[in-house]
């Protein structure tokens, strides 16, 4: 499988951003463990609540589809 130079650069940038994010979180947790834990739990709770809200208001029209046929 061949990759163009732009796709390699995109993958490299993605990995660099993930590594920087992970290192930042580890540094914050090392220096401020209680505050970082509380902030992490708060962010995860907000993401969970928004996912539930999105699921509850999602109207994709699935009731209008014929359930005998699967669409791609």
Structure-token match 């834990």, residue found: 37
The predicted structure's pLDDT at residue 59: 73
Mean pLDDT along residues 2-11: 84
CA–CA separation, 13 vs 19, rounded Å? 10
Among 54, 31, 34, which residue's Cα sits nearest to residue 42? 34
Q: Residue 5's pLDDT band (boundaries 50, 70, 90)?
A: confident
Q: Does pTM surpass 0.85?
A: no
**Average pLDDT over the chain, rounded to an integer:** 86
Residue bearing the bigger pLDDT, 14 or 1: 14
């Amino acid at each position: 499988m061949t990759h163009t130079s732009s796709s390699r650069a995109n993958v490299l940038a993605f990995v660099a951003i993930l590594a920087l994010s992970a290192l930042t979180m580890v540094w914050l947790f090392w220096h401020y463990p209680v505050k970082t834990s509380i902030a992490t739990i708060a962010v995860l709770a907000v993401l969970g609540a928004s996912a539930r809200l999105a699921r509850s208001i999602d109207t994709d029209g699935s009731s209008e589809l014929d359930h005998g046929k699967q669409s791609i």
